[in-house]
Structure 1
Amino acid sequence: MPMRRYATYESIQCLGQNMQIVSSGLGSFWRLTSRFMLEENLGMAGPDGLAQFEPDEWYPLAGHLRVLERIRKDFGEVALRQVGASIPRFARAIPAGIDVRSAFQHLDVTYHINHAVNGQPMFSEHTGQLQDGIGHYLAHPFPRHNQILCECTGPYPCAFDEGLLLAFARFHEPSATLTHHPGKCRNQGGTHCTYSVAWK
């Protein structure tokens, strides 16, 4: 995603526990990434000098997206996939005990619960209202086939979404695989990416 578009998300935040998850996906790269985060004023330096986050606090999404872009440039898309794959284990409001189709129907709500505008979550569990502004994860299941198409229109990098969606699918269906559906990718200036999730 071009850097000039990050300003679109200046009023949006993401949950601190999701920021801390980045460390579990990067392993030995975490020390350098922690420096990127501190340079973006994300988190506070702990006793070891590494960025630390309050799990229930909100942090600027634009800064987080800039950090992900630096991860892509310095460590490659494999690292972004690893970061994305770490998110489903910890992100708030992931349903448990449901099948993979039902899980994907909840994904967009889960995404919005983990983001906020001026400290207010973008999905209200009290009213059921969802606030636009960060795109969507829209799932289109095939009733007679073990397949789901998931259309992503959010600001996160394509490789990050690939890792996140595959891990999310395998959390509910261990045999799941993921492929990027034919069409113009956001990396090439497209408005969305579509991923095919299939399982046995």
Structure 2
Amino acid sequence: MKIYLVYYSTYGHTYKMIQAAAEGVKSEGGDAVIRRVPETVSEEILSQMGALDFYKAQAHVPVATVEELTEADGFIFGSPTRFGNMAAQMKAFLDATGPLWAKGALVDKPAAVITSSSTQHGGQESTILSFHTVLLHHGMILVGLPYTFQGQMERNEISGGSPYGASTIALAGEEGSREPTPNELEGARFLGARLARVARALKG
């Protein structure tokens, strides 16, 4: 059972959540394959954004190709929010999957989504929903984060996570100052484990 975790991350918050989700996949006996989508911004711009160090730090992660997606039994996608939508880098990658759509290559494959926003109300849910539109066009089966994950009811701290998927809050203007909390990471692990179980059941 091979689960592809395909992400874009600017400062590393989404990547940390993807790593936690991969732990969840492995806990269910799945093969967690982590891939990053191609960067579309120059290193000069990344440097001005304060994102160049992380860009270089993830160089060991292979860049995803459209063709290899057909090998997956399921997917977890990750992207930070961009005005309530997925990042342009992720959208560009998904837009290139037209040939797979034409062949129905991803139909009936389960998929989940992880995101990160700069503020508590920074569009986490709408970003995940922006993924759902694309995934449904591919005929995928959506997998969310149900309330059986007890951290969903957390009231003692500001925390990401919703029925739509796992998420974290990075804090605007303070990039890197807030790492994903234990509760947020546990939500990602829970989501990864659930996705793996659903993929196993569908593969049957």
TM-score relative to the length of structure 2: 0.31
Relative contact order: is structure 1 or structure 2 higher (C-alpha 8 Å, sep ≥ 6)? 2
